Structure 1
């Protein structure tokens, strides 16, 4: 499928465009999880790994994408040693792709608490009982632990576990891609400088600049 879209190469903030694309995908109806993005990280041994996570917000003002996960997961271990990461969205039925690269930072406890409180009770209990990415003897063991925790949570508020929370992918590169005939696809890259501190935190130090790329 070829797209009739034309990317606005003069846009001063590509994350506004990406946020609009995400809304378009949600309204399209062809995507069960229109906010799914493939997140790539690199571990302390230099090995890359990739997985699908759900982008909960494109924050164009702060300059990146939010998602939530277990802080003891493989991606979290990678982030602690190498904060650089990359994410890709692909909406095949709309002939669109978006790539975001930058630095992963933990969201504040208050922001993670607020999102966690909005989750269904089962998902909140699941966050407590899952020892993400660790070996599991059997599915029965997991379900038994979940059911026991569920009984203990009846009539009680389930707060966020300390090993679970949000990340913000602060972007320094955003590429938007639209399919074209003859594989002469349209690609526009925006980039801006980031200053990365010794503790892995980062701040933007300049404006976005756009470049048209060969397909």
Structure 2
């Protein structure tokens, strides 16, 4: 595909609009409203979100993770605590999340700080997972170079045999992170690239300031 062909890819957005006097007073309630609409629209894996982190080396990295819960305290996902993303969050807990629901012509940008959730919360979620996912958490030294696919299968089979007669416990190196938002932007696509952008900015006393950004 030529550069011109790529440049000619475009879409005009017309489905919805977003007005300051219609949004919720806080961003979690607004997210909950949009989340329900994404759920009702049956968007495939609408819990997929881009997590961007940056460790002490200054090199930002982004990858897709899955949202597993949200409330007034923040947005939760689970991973290996020895993974590259976890190491970066330990070095620098400032990070961002991005949801893109193209079917609704919407995206949500979240900037905040990360903290580990309690071990009890991680155990409760781990116990709800399928056995294959539990074994995968034990078998995969996430982000590390390995000898090959055969090695991964052998390691998976080792843990499958190890735990075949009982419950599969949560590995000590696995658990959840909670991203506590300090900024959230709701983006609604509009015609002629005059998109609606509503920003929530947390104030020092904890309240939220709402403003419109230029598209």
TM-score (norm. length: structure 1): 0.90
Alignment partner, residue 3 of structure 2: none
Q: Structure 1: how far apart are the matches of 2:50 and 2:125?
A: 21
> Is the contact between residue 93 and residue 113 of structure 2 (CA under 8 Å) also seen in structure 1?
yes
Per-residue CA deviation, residues 29-56 of structure 1 (Å, 9 max, x unaligned), is: 2x32110000000011111000000011
Alignment partner, residue 6 of structure 2: none
Alpha-carbon RMSD across the aligned residues, in angstroms, is 1.4
Q: Structure 1: how far apart are the matches of 2:117 and 2:69?
A: 12
Which has the greater radius of gyration? 2
Alignment partner, residue 68 of structure 1: 78
Per-residue CA deviation, residues 145-182 of structure 1 (Å, 9 max, x unaligned), is: 11121122112111111110000000000000000011
Q: Structure 1: how far apart are the matches of 2:76 and 2:14?
A: 29
> Is the contact between residue 203 and residue 209 of structure 2 (CA under 8 Å) also seen in structure 1?
no
Q: Structure 1: how far apart are the matches of 2:186 and 2:139?
A: 38
User: Within 5 A, what are the aligned runs for 1:189-204?
Assistant: 189-193=199-203
Whether 2:161 is the aligned partner of 1:151: answer: yes
For structure 1, list consecutive stretches of 5 or more residues without a partner in the other structure.
195-204
Alignment partner, residue 150 of structure 2: 140
Alignment partner, residue 23 of structure 1: 36
Q: Structure 1: how far apart are the matches of 2:20 and 2:117?
A: 30
Q: Structure 2: how far apart are the matches of 1:12 and 1:91?
A: 22
- Gap change, CA 1:56 and 1:8, over 3 Å in 2: farther
User: Within 5 A, what are the aligned runs for 1:24-43?
Assistant: 24-29=37-42, 31-43=43-55
Alignment partner, residue 51 of structure 1: 63
Q: Structure 2: how far apart are the matches of 1:43 and 1:119?
A: 30
Q: Structure 2: how far apart are the matches of 1:156 and 1:187?
A: 51
Match of 1:184 among 191, 194, 210: 194
Q: Structure 2: how far apart are the matches of 1:5 and 1:16?
A: 18
Match of 1:13 among 26, 36, 43: 26
Alignment partner, residue 4 of structure 2: none
Q: Structure 2: how far apart are the matches of 1:35 and 1:7?
A: 25
TM-score (norm. length: structure 2): 0.90
Deviates more, 1:80-89 or 1:152-161: 152-161
